[in-house]
Structure formats: C-alpha cells, structure tokens
Amino acid sequence: MKIVFFHEVNYLTKPVYEMHEFPEFLSVAGHEVHFVHFAEGLTLKESLARERLTLAPKRSFIQGDTRVFLHTPFQLGGGIIGRALVFLLGPIQVFNLLRGIRPDVIVSYSVATHGLQLVLVCKLMRIPIMLRVIDVPSEIREFGLLKPAVRLIEKLVGRFSTAVSALTPALARLFASYRSDEGSMVTVHPPPLNVQFFDVETDTAMQYRESAGWGNKKVFVFVGTFFRFSGLEALVTDFAKHSVEDEILVIFGTGELGARLDEQLRCLPEDQASRIVLPGYVDYKMLPLVLAASDVAVNPLEMVNATHQALPNKVLQYAAAGLPIVSYPLDSLVHFFDEREMCLRWAGAKESLTLLGRELINDGLRQEEKCAEANKAYVDELFGIDASGAAFETAILDLVESQR
C-alpha cells in the first residue's frame, strides 16, 4: 500500500518521535511510504538548492531496513515567508505531488501550513485522509493575530478529514466535536516507544555521571522543550528554595524560555544557582544515557488546556529509562499512567516537586530494580513500538477498506 505522510516541520532536524517511527515501522512492514515536510530553518539559498525527492536517512531505532521517500516541495527559505508561500501554493503543490505518487491513503500531521489545502485536494481526488492529532496548534504555538484563522483551519481540517487519529482522549473529544459524524471516525492511538532503546548498563551510566561532574549528588532531570507553559521557571524557583547541597537540577533542552531561564539563574544567590545546570540540547542518541545517570525525573508542565490535551513524550521516555517520576496530574497522563503500578507520584497544585522527588529518592526506589522494571514493563505494554505500530497500521488499513 502507498502511504503518504504530511507534516509542517522539518523531518531531518526534529528530535526522533512518532513522525519518524510510524513511517519507518510501516516501511519495514512492506508498505511504500512517502513523507512530505516543510524544511523549516533553511536559508533561501539552501531551500532553492535542496533536492525535491530523496531517500530519508533512518531516524528511529526500528529494527530492519527502512525506505521512506522524503519530499521537499518548492519553498523560498524556511522561515515565515517560505511557510506563507507554501500555504498559498498548497493546492497546486499537493495536487501535483499526489497525482505523481497516486497514494492509497494520506496521514497528515499538518494543519496551519497546508492542512486545509490537503483535505480539499484529497476530497477532489477521492483519497482517504487520516488526520493525526498530537496537539492543538492554536493552543500550543504563538500565532498572534493569525490565531483565530488557525483555529478555524483546525476545525475545518478536523471536520473534513476522512478520519481522525488522536493522541489522547481529550484531543479525540475536541476533534469529534468539530465533525458531523458524531465522532464515529475518531479514534485514540497512543504514540510508539522503543523501550529497549533506553536500556543502559549500570557501569556506563556511572561513568557518565563522573564525566558530567555529578558524582554522588542526587540528580533531578528534565528533558524537553522550553515552552511558555513548561513550568520551568516555577521549577527553578522551587528547586532553589527547597534543594540542599547534595542535590542538582539538570535541565536539558532549548526553546522560547531559554533567555528567561538564564536571567533567572543570574538573579539567584550563587549557592542556589550552582545547583541548577542548563547544558542545552541533548542528542536523542544520548538520551538513554543521560536518563540512566539521573536519580529522579521531573515533569513540571503547567496544568493548562494545552498540556491536559497533549501527552508529554518525555514522561514516556522517563519511564522507559526506569526512572522514578514526579509530575503534576495532567489529564492525558492520568488516563494512561497508574500511580499504583509505577514509580510515579502526582503532585498537588501547590506541592513542591523538589520535596516530592526527594521523597522518592530517599525511599530507595531508584536503587531497587523493581522500580525500573515496573516502569519499563508498564510503558512497553502500552506504548511498545510493535503493539502501537501494528495498531496504527490496522487503523490505516481499515480506513482504506471502509472507503472502497
């Protein structure tokens, strides 16, 4: 079967997650898989010189040889002007691409850039399209004056897509409310996760601790994007107030709050600031090692509409690494995770994540193999790539069959 994925981000530069894992899983399963992306970040010269069709390098850790054909439609740079041009040329570019590939089905992550154009062209060409919803663009990104327009596009794309695959029940309910079929073609599919990728030998993790200068300190770790609702500023304040000399908070990542976090650290007393480290971006290949060398993982995401709807991938990765986790009880996490069966603690709205994390460490959970085993087994059963990939493949095949 020919399957074409669409996304409005750069396939080659985004950290590895389901936009790479699902296509590569399907290619190993024997399907012909294409991926159309928007190559954000390119200069004008780079975008004009970029090959329009290449074989994508393997990004995930799916077992087997993968063949994903990567399409880069014409664009003038990878910034706002280039994106606006893609929006305007969308109907023509999408039509020509699909006419050449002649796919059986489309899976689209795209909304604001060419989501609406894609839905309309698919209607015209009678190609079933599954909208894959992992967040709400109008909630999670800054669009300024364009926000009402993006919200309208979301509703139209959700309404006119043949089917919707949502990451969480909250997202499924939201997009079902946009449709006239009362949500009969809206389903929930959790993201894939290669749990075995996060296996790290204890000696290797200890060597990393030493090289990072962590030594015998108790390491609280956060890995993710510095969104405006990431809760990192509050976490830094909390850790500065409640941490003690043998504890450090290591915050890996980049994002819009980066400069504000740097300024926040500069304003702290030296003894407090020295216990908080911002190493920057961590390569996905290094992620298992970084997590294995830590003592407790922290998810400080604020409890707002956008975070309740989405599923923070980092929490899945924390569990796959066998780390104890402290987090606020986001609806999406509470739906999938059971505090009684995992090394996980939900924090109250005014409860200190630092103090709660210390409790987990002092309980000795990190040193007990049963903690790592419990968290790994739990997420493997729910999100393991074989199970989640097969379920997603079945949903695509069922959609194609239903439209014949």
- Strands (E) across 121-260 are located at 129-133, 163-166, 186-188, 218-223, 247-252
Please give the pLDDT value at position 112: 85
Please give the pLDDT value at position 143: 66
- Residue 167 tokens read as 């990451």
Tell me the per-residue pLDDT of 288-306, one tens digit each, with 9 for 90 and over: 999 999 999 999 999 988 8
* Segment 376-390 mean pLDDT: 91
Spatial contact of 363 and 344, defined as CB atoms under 8 Å apart: no
DSSP output for 98-125: HHHH--SEEEE--STTTHHHHHHHHHHH
Please give the pLDDT value at position 347: 95
Model confidence, pTM? 0.84
Q: How is the chain split into domains, by residue range? A: 2-192+385-399, 195-382
CB proximity list for 242: less than 8 A, separation 6 or greater: 352, 354, 355
Of all helices (H) and strands (E), which one includes residue 272?
Answer: helix 270-273
CATH number for domain 2-192+385-399, candidates 3.20.20.60, 3.40.50.720, 3.30.70.1150, 3.40.50.2000: 3.40.50.2000
Assess whether pLDDT exceeds 60 at residue 366: no
Assess whether pLDDT exceeds 90 at residue 340: no
Angstrom distance (rounded) from CA 265 to CA 273: 6
Angstrom distance (rounded) from CA 3 to CA 102: 9
Angstrom distance (rounded) from CA 316 to CA 379: 7
- Residue 335 tokens read as 């739906």
Angstrom distance (rounded) from CA 384 to CA 387: 6
Tell me the per-residue pLDDT of 31-56, one tens digit each, with 9 for 90 and over: 999 999 998 888 877 777 778 899 99
Could you count the other beta carbons within 10 Å of the beta carbon of residue 19? 23
The radius of gyration computed from the CA coordinates of the chain, to the nearest angstrom, equals 22
User: Quick one: CATH architecture of 195-382?
Assistant: 3-Layer(aba) Sandwich (3.40)
Give me the helices (H) in 69-197, please.
80-101, 115-125, 137-140, 147-160, 169-176
Please give the pLDDT value at position 364: 60
- Residue 351 tokens read as 């409860």
Distances (CA, A) of 302 to 39, 92, 174: 30, 41, 20
Topology match between the domains 2-192+385-399 and 195-382: yes
Tell me the per-residue pLDDT of 211-250, one tens digit each, with 9 for 90 and over: 999 999 999 999 998 988 899 999 999 999 999 999 999 9
Assess whether pLDDT exceeds 60 at residue 367: no
Distances (CA, A) of 270 to 98, 239, 260: 58, 14, 17
Average per-residue pLDDT for the chain: 90
Please give the pLDDT value at position 103: 97
Residue 170's closest CA among 136, 140, 143? 136
Tell me the per-residue pLDDT of 142-184, one tens digit each, with 9 for 90 and over: 667 778 888 999 999 999 999 999 999 999 999 999 998 877 8
Exposed e or buried b for every residue in 109-132, given b needs 16+ CB within 10 A? bbbbbbbbbbbbbbeeeebbbbbb
Assess whether pLDDT exceeds 90 at residue 186: yes
Please give the pLDDT value at position 368: 61
